[in-house]
């Protein structure tokens, strides 16, 4: 393998790594809106509060997630915005 082939392989490798980093970065930007009701039928070890999710959607922009969550906040139940595993309840 000559130096030119080595350089092309290195460039391909770096491009692949860059794509992975961009995917990870995009995943960190996602905001998930969850809405639903608490339901005794849904209580189990993995769901001790009995959340029965009726709506779930992902947004890349917090303002879009907030707008959707505020429109859903009038339902009786719960509305959360989740980001990187942390939840914020929308009143």
CA distances from 13 to 1, 7, 10, 22, 65 (A): 16, 10, 5, 14, 35
Whole-model pTM? 0.64
pLDDT tens digits along 4-48: 888 888 888 898 888 888 887 776 668 999 999 999 999 999 999
pLDDT tens digits along 58-68: 998 899 999 99
Q: 64: Cβ–Cβ under 8 A, 6 or more apart, which residues? A: 31
Residue 52 CA to residue 11 CA, distance in Å, equals 48
């Amino acid at each position: 393998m000559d130096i030119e082939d080595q350089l092309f392989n290195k460039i391909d490798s770096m491009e692949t790594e860059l794509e992975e980093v961009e995917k990870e970065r995009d995943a960190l930007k996602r905001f998930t809106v969850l809405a639903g009701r608490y339901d005794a039928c849904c209580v189990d070890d993995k769901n001790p509060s009995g959340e029965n999710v009726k709506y779930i959607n992902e947004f890349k922009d917090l303002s879009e997630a907030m707008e959707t969550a505020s429109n859903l906040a009038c339902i009786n139940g719960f509305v959360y915005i989740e980001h990187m595993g942390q939840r914020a309840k929308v009143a």
